[in-house]
Amino acid sequence: MLRRPSIRQLFIWQLWTVFFSLLPSLLTSLLLAPGSKAWRLATFVWMGGALALLLLYFPAKYLRLGYALDQQRLLLCSGVLYLHTAALPLAAVQTVRITAGPLQRLLGLRTVRAYAAGARLSVPGLPREEAARLACQLLQEGVPWL
């Protein structure tokens, strides 16, 4: 059964989109005359793109994102238009990292990254305790001499 990351991860993606949509807004205001046809077209394009990301892409991305850990592998499902499923055998896991950006730290979330020879899986948006538990399970299961 797939487990989902915290809904707060969706909020982080949406907040970054709002933050980075300010740049096209600023450029439109500085480079084009307000009220002109070019200004209206540029505003429509960047606002349409930002709204599509906020209301369609990121919610779909969140709903498709899930992970599962069994006795033999870490499974990650993701994708918006195309569903991607990746499996990382636990016996191949070499390194596990827990990372967090500024907004993730503020909201108590972490990203678990599992590395193997030639492969990497990232599970974003996990609560701090769940991320630590997953990392410990990956290392205990992946290293046969522990």
Q: Which CATH architecture has domain 68-142?
A: Roll (2.30)
So what's the pLDDT on residue 145? 42
Residues 94-114: what's their mean pLDDT?
96
Question: CA-to-CA distance for 37 and 15, rounded, in angstroms?
Answer: 29
Sorted by sequence, the CB contacts under 8 Å of residue 20 that are 6+ apart come out as none
109-126: pLDDT as tens digits: 999 999 998 899 999 999
Nearest to 13 by CA among 94, 100, 103, 131: 103
Per-domain residue ranges for the chain? 8-63, 68-142
42-66: pLDDT as tens digits: 888 889 999 999 999 999 999 999 9
- Residue 53, classed as helix, strand or coil, is helix
